């Protein structure tokens, strides 16, 4: 289950602004149109680096907000007129692209006319150019193909594709949980030299079918998905290696009938071997094998085991080869935090590169000449991101970003400079250019606008609240009502997600009209995170092992107690979320019913036996292994405690969190004679758009007005 944000108002509950004595509030008309343009000065848009010391920017020119493209020279600090044609990727004459049009493939070679590559009834999927741009690979009817772009010859690499056998196209659980949604179901990967493809062959024969009902037409229809639930058989997967122009597939030496998972593979830089991530069904042991291109034989190069679970990498970010493959950098949280380790090519560890309480660690660049690795991470403050440089031998570490800010950085190609867009809850975004030593060379724009001082802007802040067991300082982000009076009580709307390592509290600038609207109406807006949200590393996340739903609620109840003591009306504590957030909203109104009074639960898991195998078992093991954990973590178990008012809403064709979850909860509430609200969105998946999105937003807004603000919603507020 990926982190799905609510689709409506409720993202505003994690917004924030600053407190300064202002002259007047925003008018209703202003907020309906959006925050006036003069309040915040826009940050220049970074278009890209031209070279190591020149960067291309778009600047908005006042008062007409026209855009001016400029080149900033980091060495001189001067700006000159520029054009996007200065960026190499925009040199049309050198660009070769293959794209889909009307379900067929077309080739565009620079300024040459487009050429049609396919012309058939079956749709081509995921066209992907080889690194040398001599071939394009794609799938068609679950078989893998290539086309030689010089001869236009089509090569069929597999021939057994069917509804159950998927070559180069991922089964649902691999798409959603292992390869990631960004894969768009693609499960094939080019070698660096463009001579071979690695691909996954998935056999869905034993995976149970889950039917989704489509209400359209006279008789309706069913959409059947192969969807494994906890304890069910998973797809059987084989790893194949095949030449770009076809021929025999070499199969990696794994038994496909073993209960196992394979993560995204890595090609060795020289293209002469494939590294495969392997994991047991229990997800406690990660191994990485080097697979031979000649016969598929394998040798182990890495082995990691944890008592709880190990996350599979779906971003291609776990391993970074250096020195042409003579060493590699490994990212691991095996010590409770995300640190970097330097390994020799045979897998033996040479040294730790970092050894601190880092989280959300992302390698940006490795400077092999200077033996430095540049990375972003959260360490100084778990709600902020910084840029660091560390020596590969682990002896030197430098924080390059500055101040008490969250930084979004863009490093120059040679790492001589970086741009940072930085802010915190009380300071608007600004853009600065910084050198490799961390010295600010020049501010390039952003901050408060000329009209900022004219308006009363709601106060927002990051607060830390001690957990009940005193082990953690739990972060919340709170936006107070305008003219907040601590002697009065106010309704609260809490926006949450709540899943493992899926925190939402960040110390960065946010300002939007909806947030200011609710502040003007007198609503306290809160985002809050628990001990397993990522602020406290894997050490904190491990609390969720075999315990989904338990610690989140314990920590959030602690936060609600604090809110009650600091201006919150205990009879109007609202909570809202979608997906995992919907699950936790349902838990709040049942298991936590003495503290939460109103809930908006969208696309909710209500019983972990109803979600998919890979995500659920990672944290909960199987129902047979952990029956008590599944019972405690089920909303159904706590329905008897339900009070207050819960609004449940779900898309009827949600192929991620099936509407079955909400339907089973609805039945249990009915059997318990409980009052609640329920809305379905016909044809809606795990989210919906268009008129249905507007309807959903309006209905949730009306819920807040009626039950939390206790007044009529203005007609002008309708979407």
CA end-to-end distance (rounded Å), the chain: 29
| Residue range 293-337, pLDDT digits in tens | 999 999 999 999 999 999 987 777 899 999 999 999 999 999 999
Inter-CA distances, 176 with 181, 463, 659, Å: 6, 34, 17
pLDDT given for residue 89 in this prediction: 57
Inter-CA distances, 132 with 34, 326, 568, Å: 47, 23, 61
Cβ atoms of residues 259 and 278 within 8 Å: no
Any idea which residue has 């209500």 for tokens?
Answer: 606
Instruction: Choose among 352, 349, 348: nearest CA to 390.
Output: 352
As given in the structure block, the two tokens for residue 652 are 């009827």
Rounded mean pLDDT of 641-653? 97
Cβ atoms of residues 501 and 488 within 8 Å: no
* CA–CA separation, 719 and 707 (whole Å): 20
Give Cβ neighbours of residue 651 (< 8 Å, ≥ 6 apart). Answer: 603, 659, 680, 681, 683, 684, 685, 686, 687, 688
Residue 60 predicted with pLDDT over 60: yes
Counting other chains too, the contacts that 542-548 makes at CB distance below 8 Å and 24 or more residues apart are: 542/307, 542/308, 542/336, 544/500, 544/619, 545/307, 545/308, 545/309, 545/619, 546/619, 546/620, 546/621, 546/626, 546/629, 547/619, 547/629, 547/632, 547/633, 548/500, 548/608, 548/619, 548/620, 548/629, 548/633
Which band of pLDDT confidence, cut at 50, 70 and 90, is reported for residue 360? very high
Percentage of the chain lying above the pLDDT 90 cut: 90
Burial of 633: CB neighbours in 10 Å, binned 0-12, 13-18, 19+: buried
Percentage of the chain lying above the pLDDT 70 cut: 95
pLDDT given for residue 160 in this prediction: 97
* CA–CA separation, 166 and 172 (whole Å): 11
Residue 357 predicted with pLDDT over 90: yes
* CA–CA separation, 216 and 544 (whole Å): 41
Cβ atoms of residues 552 and 530 within 8 Å: yes
Instruction: Choose among 314, 275, 320: nearest CA to 183.
Output: 314
Beta strands in 425-567 (DSSP E): 427-435, 440-446, 460-466, 473-479, 490-495, 524-528
pLDDT given for residue 11 in this prediction: 38
Rounded mean pLDDT of 420-435? 97
pLDDT given for residue 460 in this prediction: 95
Residue 182 predicted with pLDDT over 80: yes
As given in the structure block, the two tokens for residue 566 are 């600091």
pLDDT given for residue 95 in this prediction: 83
Cβ atoms of residues 145 and 137 within 8 Å: yes
pLDDT given for residue 64 in this prediction: 65
Higher local confidence (pLDDT), 124 or 719 = 124
Average pLDDT, the chain: 94
pLDDT given for residue 13 in this prediction: 38
pLDDT given for residue 85 in this prediction: 85
Pairing status of strand 568-578 against strand 490-495: parallel
Angle between helices 550-564 and 580-590 (to 10 degrees): 60
Which band of pLDDT confidence, cut at 50, 70 and 90, is reported for residue 17? very low
As given in the structure block, the two tokens for residue 199 are 């691909």
**Vertex 382: Cα angle to 21 and 395 (nearest 5):** 130
CB atoms within 10 A of CB 93: 8
Residue 435 predicted with pLDDT over 70: yes
pLDDT given for residue 553 in this prediction: 97
Which band of pLDDT confidence, cut at 50, 70 and 90, is reported for residue 2? low
* CA–CA separation, 34 and 25 (whole Å): 13
Cβ atoms of residues 240 and 256 within 8 Å: no
| Residue range 453-487, pLDDT digits in tens | 999 999 999 999 999 999 999 999 999 999 999 99
DSSP result, 690-715: HHHHHHHHHHHHHHIIIIII-SPPPG
Set out the domains of the chain in order of their start, with CATH numbers.
Answer: 459-717 (3.40.50.1820)
**Vertex 505: Cα angle to 500 and 508 (nearest 5):** 140
| Residue range 95-127, pLDDT digits in tens | 899 999 999 999 999 888 999 999 999 999 999
| 534: region left, alpha or beta (phi > 0 left; psi from -120 to 50 alpha) | left
Residue 264 predicted with pLDDT over 90: yes
Range of 3-7, 61-65, 177-181 with top mean pLDDT: 177-181
| Residue range 409-425, pLDDT digits in tens | 999 999 999 999 999 99
* CA–CA separation, 195 and 109 (whole Å): 21
pLDDT given for residue 94 in this prediction: 59
| Residue range 187-244, pLDDT digits in tens | 999 999 999 999 999 999 999 999 999 999 999 999 999 999 999 999 999 999 999 9
Give Cβ neighbours of residue 29 (< 8 Å, ≥ 6 apart). Answer: none
pLDDT given for residue 21 in this prediction: 46
């Amino acid at each position: 289950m990926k982190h799905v944000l609510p689709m409506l108002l409720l993202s505003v509950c994690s917004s924030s602004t600053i407190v300064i004595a202002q002259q007047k509030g925003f008018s209703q008309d202003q907020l309906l149109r959006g925050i006036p343009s003069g309040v915040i000065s826009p940050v220049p848009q970074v278009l890209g680096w031209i070279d190591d010391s020149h960067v291309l920017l778009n600047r908005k020119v006042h008062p007409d907000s026209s855009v001016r493209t400029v080149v900033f020279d980091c060495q001189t600090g001067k700006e000159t007129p520029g054009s996007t044609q200065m960026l190499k990727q925009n040199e049309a004459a050198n660009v070769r692209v293959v794209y889909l049009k009307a379900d067929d493939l077309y080739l565009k070679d620079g300024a040459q006319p487009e050429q049609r590559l396919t012309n058939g009834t079956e749709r081509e999927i995921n066209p992907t150019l080889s690194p040398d741009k001599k071939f394009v690979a794609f799938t068609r009817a679950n078989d893998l193909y290539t086309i030689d772009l010089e001869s236009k010859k089509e090569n069929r690499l597999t021939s057994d594709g069917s509804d159950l056998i998927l070559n180069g196209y991922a089964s649902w659980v691999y798409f959603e949980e292992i390869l990631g949604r960004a894969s768009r179901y693609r499960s094939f990967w080019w070698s660096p030299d463009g001579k071979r493809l690695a691909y996954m062959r998935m056999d869905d024969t034993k995976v149970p079918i889950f039917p989704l009902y489509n209400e359209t037409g006279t008789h309706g229809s069913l959409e059947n998905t192969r969807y494994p639930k906890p304890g069910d058989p998973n797809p059987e997967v084989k790893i194949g290696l095949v030449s770009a122009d076809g021929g025999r597939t070499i199969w990696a030496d794994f038994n496909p009938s073993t209960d196992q998972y394979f993560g995204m593979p890595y090609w060795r830089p020289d293209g002469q071997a494939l590294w495969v991530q392997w994991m047991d069904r229990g997800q406690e042991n990660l191994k990485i094998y080097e697979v031979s291109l000649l016969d598929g034989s394998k040798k182990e190069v890495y082995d990691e085991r944890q008592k709880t679970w190990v996350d599979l990498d779906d971003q291609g970010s776990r391993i970074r080869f250096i020195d042409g493959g003579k060493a590699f950098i490994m990212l691991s949280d095996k010590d409770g935090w995300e640190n970097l380790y330097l390994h020799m090519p045979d897998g033996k560890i040479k040294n730790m590169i970092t050894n601190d309480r880092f989280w959300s660690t992302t390698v940006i660049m490795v400077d092999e000449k200077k033996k430095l690795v540049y990375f972003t991470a959260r360490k100084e403050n778990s709600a902020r991101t910084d840029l660091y440089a560390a020596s590969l031998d682990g002896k030197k570490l430098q924080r390059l970003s500055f101040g008490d800010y969250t930084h979004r950085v863009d490093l120059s190609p040679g790492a001589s400079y970086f741009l940072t867009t930085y802010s915190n809850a009380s300071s608007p975004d600004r853009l600065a250019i910084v050198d490799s030593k961390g010295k600010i060379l020049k501010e390039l724009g952003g901050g408060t606008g000329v009209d900022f001082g004219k308006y009363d802007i709601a106060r927002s802040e990051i607060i830390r609240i001690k957990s009940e067991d005193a082990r953690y300082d739990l972060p919340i982000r709170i936006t107070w009502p305008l003219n907040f009076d601590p002697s009065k009580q106010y309704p609260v709307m809490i926006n949450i997600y709540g899943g493992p390592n899926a925190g939402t509290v960040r110390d960065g600038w946010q300002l939007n009209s909806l947030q200011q609207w609710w502040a003007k109406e007198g609503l306290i807006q809160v985002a809050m995170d628990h001990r397993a949200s990522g602020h406290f590393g894997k050490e904190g996340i491990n609390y969720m092992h075999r315990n989904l739903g338990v610690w989140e609620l314990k920590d959030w109840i602690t936060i609600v107690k604090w809110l009650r003591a600091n201006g919150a009306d205990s009879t109007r504590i609202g909570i809202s979320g979608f997906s995992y957030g919907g699950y936790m909203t349902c838990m709040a109104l049942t298991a936590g019913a003495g503290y939460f009074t109103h809930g908006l639960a969208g696309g909710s898991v209500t019983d972990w036996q109803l979600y998919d195998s890979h995500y659920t078992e990672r944290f909960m093991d199987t129902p047979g292994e952990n029956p008590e954990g599944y019972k405690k973590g089920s909303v159904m178990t706590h329905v008897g405690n339900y009070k207050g008012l819960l609004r449940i809403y779900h898309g009827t064709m949600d192929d991620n969190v099936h509407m079955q979850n909400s339907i089973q909860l609805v039945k249990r509430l009915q059997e318990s004679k409980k009052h609640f609200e329920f809305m379905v969105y016909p044809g809606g998946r795990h989210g919906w758009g268009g008129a249905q999105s507007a309807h959903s937003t309006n209905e949730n807004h009306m819920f807040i007005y009626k039950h939390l603000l206790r007044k009529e919603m203005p007609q002008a507020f309708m979407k």
